[in-house]
Amino acid sequence: MSIRPESWLVIGRNVVAAISLALLTVLAVILLDLRARDQAITDLRGYELSGTAGRWRDEALVTLLALDRYVANSGRPSDLDDLKLRVDILWNRVSVLEGGRENYHTDIIPGAGPAIRRSRELITDVDRALATLDPATPASIDAVRQPLLEMVGLSRQVSLQAGHLHGSLVAESRMRLDSLHSQLVAAIIAIAVSVAVLIGLLITQSRRLRRSVDDLQVLNAEVMRQAELVQQAGEAKMRFLGHMSHELRTPLNAIIGFADLIRLQMFGPVQQQYQDYVTSISEGAHELSRVLQQILEIARHDTGRSPGKVSVFDIGTVVREAVNSVRHGHRGEQAGIDIRLPEEAMAFEADPSTISQIVWHLASNALRHTPADGQVIVSAHPWNVGDGIEIVVRDSGSGMSREEKQAALGTFSVANHLTARSRSGIGLGLRIVQRNVEVLGGRFRLVSRKGHGTIAMVRLPRRPLKRRATDRRAIAA
């Protein structure tokens, strides 16, 4: 089963989304972790207390030594000065431990806070005991020594704790940094792999697309060729129909002419039976002539020939002429035709023959399907506040069923018309009307009920749309 290029696109998009999401997650984790590391390193400064505590312990020890030297030298004033200096230094250390930055981190080191608070008490005790210090009185010496000894113990304890924490934090940081390093390497490898996969996908996809485009171009050329052939065939067909109609009309005219001569008994009397025959011949020939005329018109439209010259004319005049032509062309008894026009002229710009054809076919159709005691009314008037023209042909004839109407207005094609046999009820005229109305950019409506007559309405816009150069629909049909 081959995968379509679009599916590759979707797969590629999903792969990109998944990889991006995974990478973003990894990067977010790394960033958060780095931040935590950064905080830990900042905190590490607090563990500098290990160094400070070491110096604190040293200072306490040095003070003890100074005390011992003072006692050993039996209270030499310079030794007392040195002892006092050492106590001052120790005092300063305790102050720094209490108020300096190390103090901000004492809570991290177990026991550091209480140790520092205790040291304040101890150094105050030492300071007080110094005032009564007598090298000959062991109790007064102990009053200085004991707090100092305790402070040495406290400082050692804090120093050890801080050193331990410092060491474990460094070790932990190192471990985390190593793990971050591995994660970063993994992320970089993932990026490289995904980029490679993506590039591969893109290359495959673009190849497939190119192949599809090539195939489509070949197909397109084939379709164009076929369309050309169809068009040529259609035109040839129409030309053939045109020529055929024309060729048939010439002998038909001879038949009509000679039949009339016989019917009128121009060269002597003819038996009644022959007269009836010849009348039938004449009527049949006239009907055939009408059909041929319509086929000629349709062929003319289908081969894309323009209907003629556009000029400005009066709709009323054209309507009147067309209706008269219908009247005179109709043989035998006919229903009455009324023409209803407004008094003022209705100027219109189009090919007058197109309008004339519309009126002629509508009126002729109506007349043919209306009995002699019936009535046909042809009217024309401005429509849509004078922006267009409406032509209405109304008859009291047999009317049309839904099927007949559909057949009458069916697909515009000579082939259809020819196969659908032009019965006397449905002529080609309605399709010609429909076609002409389309050419003028108007609308054609047919309202009819079987047995209740027919109303044909044509609405034409004042400024007709330009006729499409070639009507593809005719070719397609």
Write out the residues near other proteins by the rule CB under 8 A.
45, 48, 55, 58-59, 62, 85, 88-89, 91-93, 95-96, 99-101
Of 96 and 190, CB closest to other proteins: 96
CB of 192 to other proteins, least distance (A): 38
Of 87 and 393, CB closest to other proteins: 87
Contact between 109 and 49 (Cβ < 8 Å): yes
Which amino acid does the sequence have at 47?
Y
Of 63 and 364, CB closest to other proteins: 63
CB of 171 to other proteins, least distance (A): 20
Of 59 and 438, CB closest to other proteins: 59
Of 46 and 399, CB closest to other proteins: 46
Of 95 and 132, CB closest to other proteins: 95
- Which SS3 state, helix, strand or coil, does residue 309 take? coil
Return the bridge partners of 395, or none: 376, 454
Contact between 296 and 242 (Cβ < 8 Å): yes
Of 100 and 451, CB closest to other proteins: 100
Which amino acid does the sequence have at 269?
P
CB of 169 to other proteins, least distance (A): 16
- What tokens were used for 151? 């402070």
Of 105 and 435, CB closest to other proteins: 105
Q: Where are the alpha helices (DSSP H) in 45-76?
A: 49-72
Backbone dihedral angles phi then psi of residue 290, each to the nearest 5 degrees:
-65, -45
Q: Which helix (H) or strand (E) holds 164?
A: helix 138-263
CB of 45 to other proteins, least distance (A): 7
Rounded-to-integer distance, Cα 378 and Cα 397, Å? 14
Angle between helices 138-263 and 272-302 in degrees, nearest 10:
150
Place of tokens 């801080």: 162
CB of 140 to other proteins, least distance (A): 22
CB of 54 to other proteins, least distance (A): 11
CB of 26 to other proteins, least distance (A): 32
Contact between 133 and 68 (Cβ < 8 Å): no
Q: What is the dihedral of CA 168, 174, 180, 184, to 10 degrees?
A: 180
| Residue 292, CA distances (Å) to 48, 78, 100, 422 in order | 116, 148, 118, 11
CB of 182 to other proteins, least distance (A): 29
